[in-house]
Each structure stands twice: as C-alpha cells, then as structure tokens.
Structure 1
Amino acid sequence: MQLSSTLAWLVDLAAETAGADRLLAGLGAHLVADGLPLAGGALTLDVPHPLIARRTWLWRATNGEVIEALGFAPGGPAAALLTTPANKTSANDAGRQWLVGIADGKVHEDMIGPKQNAPSLAWIGPRPFTPREIDQLRQAARFATAPLAVLATRATLTAALEAYLGRRSAARVMAAPLRRSVGETIQAALLYADLRGFTALSEANPPAVVIAALDAWFDRIAGAIHAFGGEVLKFIGDGILAIFPVAGRTTRDACEAALRAASAARAGMAHLDSERSRQGLPPLPFGAALHLGEMLWGNIGAADRLDFTAIGSAVNLVSRLEGLCKPLGKTILVSGALAAEVETPLIPLGTHELRGIVDACAVFTVPDN
C-alpha cells in the first residue's frame, strides 16, 4: 500500500520537527496538499508545568501562521479555540468564528492515544467534513501517535528541566554531554539575595508557615529577576543566586537589568510586608548584592550525580558582599565592578574587606535605600 504524502511524512519526518507548533503546521500543510479542505487546526498537549496545565497551538491555513494559546478554557482544543485570538483577531471575533464552525459541524477532533489526557487534534473546515474526509483525518491522527509521543516526551523533559534549572540552563544541559567539567566561562551580572532573620522565623513557626513565607519571598525576587531578563540559578535555603548574562547584549544593559530587578524586588517586598502587617505577621527583610564578573557555568558533582551551576571568584564575591547588607544597614549593595558599568546614580559607601576575598571591594548602594 502506498501511503499518502501526509502519512509518509508522519512516519518518516514528523518526529524530527523542532516542536509541536512545527508539527501542527507541517501536518496541516500536508493534509491540504492531499486535498483536505482545512481552514485551521489546533494541537493540545499536557505538560508538567508549575503554571500551565496544557499547551495549545493554533494553525491558520491561509498563511501557515501558528500561535500558542495558554490559559485557555478546559475541554480540549475546540473549546480553546473559542476563547483564544488567532492571527491577531480579537478574542470575541475568534470565538464567534469558531462558534459558527461548531454550529455548522465544521470542526472535527481526535484524541491521540488511549490515555485520558492524551494529545488531541482539532480541525476546522470551510464546510462540514464529508465521511471520507473524516476518515482521512482520523487516519492522520492514528499515524500522528508516534511522533506526538516523541514530542510530548521532549516537551515534558524540557518543562521539567526549565522548572528546576531555568530556561537558559535547561537548554545548555540538553545540548551538552552529561559529564563533569562540561561548561563554559561566561560574563554576567550576578544577583545574590537572602532573607534576614530566617533562622528565627524557622524556629518560631511551623513548617507550613515558613514555606508560605519562603514562597512569597521567592515569588517577588524571582519574578523581578525574570521580568528583566535574568535567570535564577539556585535557591539556597532562603537565598537566591541569579545571573544576567552579557551574551546577546551589552555589558551595560546586563548590569542595568540586574539593578532594575533588585529595585523591583525591593518594591515587591515592601508591598508584601504591608500585606503581612495587616495580617499581624512580621516583615521579611532581605539583603541583595550585585556584581559583574566571569564564572564557569556548567556541570559539577560526582561521577553519576551532577549539578548545573555557576562557580568562580565572582560568585564568591557577590555572596560575601550580600553579607555586608546588615552591618551597613542597606537592602541593596553594588560592587565597584558593576557600578562602573551603569548610568543609574549610585551612592558610594567606601571600600570594604570581604571575608575570604583577597582584594578590598568598592561598595555602592542605590538612592533611598
């Protein structure tokens, strides 16, 4: 039996596509080439993600554009299409278009595989599909099972690694061998921050209260870091280490981004402390330090148990600099190396010795700190 171009593509090449969006676009284009009257399609996959339960990609046949829909209504891709804009169409207009399609029987949907939360494919046509066309779509869905399983596994791995390592680090881990001493030297602005009085907080409260406080703190600091293009490398107890790599932008841009992230975190924590005060809870004071330097970004660990992290003198310095926040009575401290790269006005605090660091460090802070 000779396979159609669609089925041959699904068997031979679909699993090698770059992602679910490209698979949907390729499948839609092949179905159209095989004579199927399609106006658009949707592909939905479950992913283990801290915020997103499912991801849906929407394809439009007229121009081949694919967009991703997040936070859609439950019930499969056909339901997602009712509430998600497509090709820059407003959500209301898109909803009306798909409602008309459903009312006229123009939508066909297949679940891919036997599992309850299996991937699903939905197609919409300019007219109701004929029984023969429905058979063709169902056959394509059956042949799509294997490549979609590959993509779903890849998506699960990517989502898990990004949740625990961050996007840049996850991509680096997936691209490199799983061996020690695999890494690269990068230049980045570093941010190190931790809560003050965390030991006392832990001793005086049950674990659930402590975890709630930590989660609230990490939401503010990590949210600010991500908002300005940084990446969290480590949660270390109540502390956090983040980097703003210079690669792809100027050194000044990376340093300014780190400085803005620290200021945004301070504003976020001030709002959180106000909320906690209204609830009769103590504030969560913190300290943050910023530095610019080079570090080894890669794998360390035992032969069969690795960690992906950043190490080097710059990491040591920024952590020691954060330790000065409390004695100097400042929330944010900036090293001379980073201060020299930014245009934001900073206040000099003199030169200070840092524990374990050979050379004294020029220290600055931000206004109103």
Structure 2
Amino acid sequence: MKLTGFPEGTALGGVGFSLAGDGPTGFSEGQITDLDRFLPALALACYRIAALRVATDMLAVYTGSRTSGRILNGQTRRGDGTAIYAAILLADLKDFTSLNERYAPDRIVTWLNQHFEVIGQPVEQAGGEILKFMGDSLLAIFPAEIDNPTDGCERALSAARMAMDANDALNWKRVDAGEPAIPIDIVLHVGEVFYGNVGCTRRLDFTAIGKAVNEAARMEKLCDNVGRNLLASAMFVSRVQADFEKLGSFALKGVAKPADVYGLQR
C-alpha cells in the first residue's frame, strides 16, 4: 500500500491498512456495521504485530541480531546456551583511562561512541556479532565450523584490518581538530566458547565465555610489550592466508602453557 499525504521525513510507527469495495455505491450500511464489529479485533492483532516488531528491533540493538533471536525463542534461563566454535575478535582502546582524568565525561562518551562505530561496522559487515562492550573494549565472535574454521577466521581478519584503517582515519580527523588520538589494540583467536546466559536470577547477560575468550583477553595485554596493535594466536594464524610473523612464546596469566603469539609482517 502506498502512503501519500505525509510530509517528507515523517516517521510512522505501527501497522496501517485500508479497506475498499468494488460496488458502485461503496459500502452498504450493513457492511459498515459489520466492519465496526470487526475492527477492534483487527486493531488488537495489529497492535500485537507492531509491539513485537518494536521489541525485536530494540532487543537486537542491545544484544545483536543473532543473540536477540535466541532470547526471543525462549533461551531466557540462567545457564541456557550452547558450545559453539568461533573466531574471536577483542578490541581495546589504548590509554582510555588517562583520558578520563583529563576530559569531561560528555567528550569521553562522544569519542567512545565514534570509535565503537568505526570498529563495529566492519565486524557486522563481515558477518560477526558484537556480544559486549566492556568499558573501552569490544568483544565480537564470528561463528565457524569446527572442522573448517577458515571462513570465520578470514572474516574476522578482514574486519580487524578494516577496523584498524577506519580507526586511523578517525584519529587523523581528531588530531586535525586539536583533540587526542585514541589507537586500538586488536587480538584474534579461534576456539570453542560457551554462548549463552550467565548472571544472577533477575539479571542475565547473554555472552561468550570460555578458555578461548580468556586467552584472547590475556593476549591483549601483550600488545604494548611487543609494540604491535594487532596480535593473533597460532591457531588463528594457521587458518588464514596472511603474512604473519611469530613474535615469541609468552606466558599468559592463568593459562598453563605458553602461547605462541603472531603479528602481521611489517
């Protein structure tokens, strides 16, 4: 149905419909009476459709489209979830704590949103899902096949490269405006994660946890030590076609075995 008569830019919410008859004299009095009886029930059904659409869209904004679908399908109990294999992308804004000491909160929030926007767009374009914003960090996953995770890893690497480039471009603009640059560190890993509900009885969080997520978080702490902004695990590097170089084996806090860590060749 084509809507006419509304000013340009008008936002319409809800469900609209129209009724028409093919008789030469329009609706009869009996038909109008029947419609008056019928319309309240139809309006109630339309309201339910519109309310569900709004709820679905809003939930997807806060949790991601894949996660919101699981929640709406009934995965709402603590512990609900499943083990999945996924490429992991963890991005962290550098020196953000010190910026909080020097700038007003409203400016900090504006900068934070700008960086999350340029990092998040490549993630979503590459088929990933942002699971969590943790202060100045972002956690995203790219579901992959356990027997052949190459596609998920390639998409994660592509998103990481685009995010780094977009963040650099944003920083150039900010420096030109006399504001501080905010670099990012990104870690790429792959492995099994638990994807589901954790939390307390009345407050749940749908997220990804597990050994692989913990290892990615520990690897991020190495970025300053090795002077690189993008690091990857040996398992991740083995699944992608890219020029990585081994930077060394490092002990990760809470992880039994040292981890081989790689960076893109310069």
User: What is the TM-score normalised by the length of structure 2?
Assistant: 0.88
Return the alpha-carbon distance in structure 2 between the equivalents of residues 249 and 124 of structure 1. 57
SS in 2 for 1:347: strand
Structure 1's unaligned 5+ residue stretches are: 1-40, 44-71, 78-116
Post-superposition shift, 1:253? 0.6
- For residues 84-123 of structure 1, the aligned pairs below 5 Å read 118-121=14-17
- Give yes or no for the alignment of 1:295 onto 2:190: no
Residue of structure 2 equivalent to 1:317: 215
Stretches of structure 2 that go unaligned for 5 or more consecutive residues are none
Specify whether residues 279 and 129 from structure 1 end up closer, same or farther in structure 2 by C-alpha distance, changes over 3 A only: farther
Residue aligning to 1:333: 231
Q: Find the residue that maps to 1:120 and give its secondary structure.
A: coil
Q: What is aligned with 1:255?
A: 153
CA deviation profile, 1:312-342 (whole Å, cap 9, x unmatched):
1111001111111111111110101111111
2:139 pairs with 1:241 = yes
**Structure-1 residue corresponding to 2:249:** 351
* 2:228 aligned counterpart, secondary structure: coil
Measure the CA separation in 1 of the matches of 2:156 and 2:202.
34
CA distance in 2, matches of 1:248, 1:152: 39
Q: Deviations 1:169-192 (Å, cap 9, x if unpaired)?
A: 111112134211111000000011
For the residues of structure 2 that align with 1:248 and 1:354, how far apart are their CA atoms?
Answer: 24
* Distance in 1 separating the partners of 2:159 and 2:19: 43
The change in CA–CA distance for 1:182 and 1:135 in structure 2 (over 3 A counts) is: same
Q: 1:267 to 1:177 in 2, by over 3 A?
A: closer
Superposition RMSD on alpha carbons, in Å?
A: 2.9
> How far apart are 1:280 and its partner, in Å?
0.5
Aligned counterpart for 1:132 among listed residues 19, 22, 27: 27
Question: After the TM superposition, which segments of 4 or more aligned residues of structure 1 sit over 3 Å from their partners?
Answer: 72-77, 122-125, 127-130, 133-136, 138-143, 247-250
| Alignment match of 2:62 (pick from 149, 161, 164) | 164
Partner of 2:261: 363
Q: Secondary structure at 1:185's aligned position in 2?
A: strand
Corresponding residue SS for 1:363: strand
Q: Identify the structure with bigger relative contact order (alpha carbons < 8 Å, sequence gap 6+).
A: 2
1:144: Cα distance to partner?
Answer: 2.7
Whole-angstrom CA distance in 1 between matches of 2:42 and 2:74: 29
Residues 85, 193 of structure 2: 8 Å contact kept: yes
Contact 2:233 2:261 in 1 (8 A): yes
More displaced 10-residue stretch of structure 1: 263-272 or 145-154: 145-154
Cα distance change on mapping 1:338 and 1:141 into 2, 3 Å = farther
Distance 1:128 1:282, change over 3 A: farther
Separation in 1, partners of 2:164, 2:20: 49
Aligned to 1:36: none
What percentage of residue pairs aligned between the two structures are identical? 33
Question: For 1:1-369, what aligned pairs fall within 5 Å after superposition?
Answer: 41=1, 73-75=8-10, 118-121=14-17, 131-132=26-27, 143-246=41-144, 250-368=148-266
Work out whether residues 75 and 81 of structure 2, in 8 Å CA contact, stay in contact via their aligned partners in 1: no
C-alpha contact (below 8 Å) 1:196/1:284 kept by paired residues: yes
The answer to whether the 8 Å contact 1:42/1:123 transfers is no
